Structure 1
Amino acid sequence: MSLCVFGTVFLWDGVPLAAPSPDGGSTFTCSAPYVHDGDNINCRGIRRGRLYGIDAPEMPGACRPGRRCTPGDPYASRDHLRSLVAGDNVRCEQLETDHYGRAILQCWSGSINLSCAQVNAGHAVKRYGWLRCGDAS
């Protein structure tokens, strides 16, 4: 049995079922990604999007009025994500597209799940999905 939440289908045990990206391929390699904040990644010329299942502190002035934004240091969050992707190719899979039209990406640097690494380091919180990290990033 499955459950549909925010346009994504999940198994009851919480494991997401990845849908192919709109261009027909769901996995791609991102060389030298640009990181603006702690939960977004920009693969120049390929795709940009939000990391799946997390919310990081907003950069100054980016928290919309009326929104409860994630507390914490946005610069530390951004810098941690930058350190995770520095000098490495990042492998991403587009899981879905959010209601703003942004790609929702599950990304890894080597064997490190970037969403889990941000949460485990205290630079983001689990939100907007059923992110399962376990003990390791």
Structure 2
Amino acid sequence: MRCDDERIRLLGIDAPELQGHCRAGRRCVDGDPIASSRSLADALYGSLTINRVGQDRYGRTLAMGASQVGDLSCWRLVHKQAIYKSQWDNGLRVARTCPRAVL
């Protein structure tokens, strides 16, 4: 996600990459990246809350995000537009927020 000039990566999830964006040697998530992006865009309405927890190695803000639909990482998991990655879930925040979605 992008908020003005800030690039934000949602905690605990990995979503399909756009064609040509999966770097060499990495096993990228299967799925339709356009549908995944559209699903996130559909969830971004009403007030948006960003709970920043750090930065990743690319300088993106690591955060929990929420909108009118609830937690955005959970939204993507429930709608099968991302997979859960416990190693990317700082403090297991996503696992605690939506435990059924991460199983």
Aligned residue in 1 for 2:75: 117
Equivalenced residue count is: 94
Segments ≥4 residues shifted beyond 6 Å: none
**Change beyond 3 A, Cα 1:105–1:59:** same
Aligned residue in 2 for 1:66: 25
CA contact (8 A) 2:69 2:75 kept: no
CA deviations over 1:73-95 (Å, ceiling 9, x no partner)? 10110000000004x22110111
Q: Give the alignment of 1:76-87 within 5 angstroms.
A: 76-86=35-45
Identity %: 36
- Is residue 42 of structure 1 aligned with residue 7 of structure 2? no
Partner amino acid for 2:2?
Answer: N
TM-score relative to the length of structure 2: 0.83
Partner amino acid for 2:30?
Answer: P
Q: State how far apart, in whole Å, the 2-side matches of 1:42 and 1:78 are.
A: 12
Gapped runs of 5+ residues in structure 1? Answer: 1-40
Gapped runs of 5+ residues in structure 2? Answer: none
Q: Kindly name which structure, 1 or 2, has the bigger radius of gyration based on alpha carbons.
A: 1
TM-score relative to the length of structure 1: 0.64
Q: Tell me how far 1:65 sits from its aligned partner.
A: 0.8
The structure carrying a bigger helix percent of its residues is 2
Partner amino acid for 1:65?
Answer: A
The structure carrying a bigger strand percent of its residues is 1
RMSD: 1.6
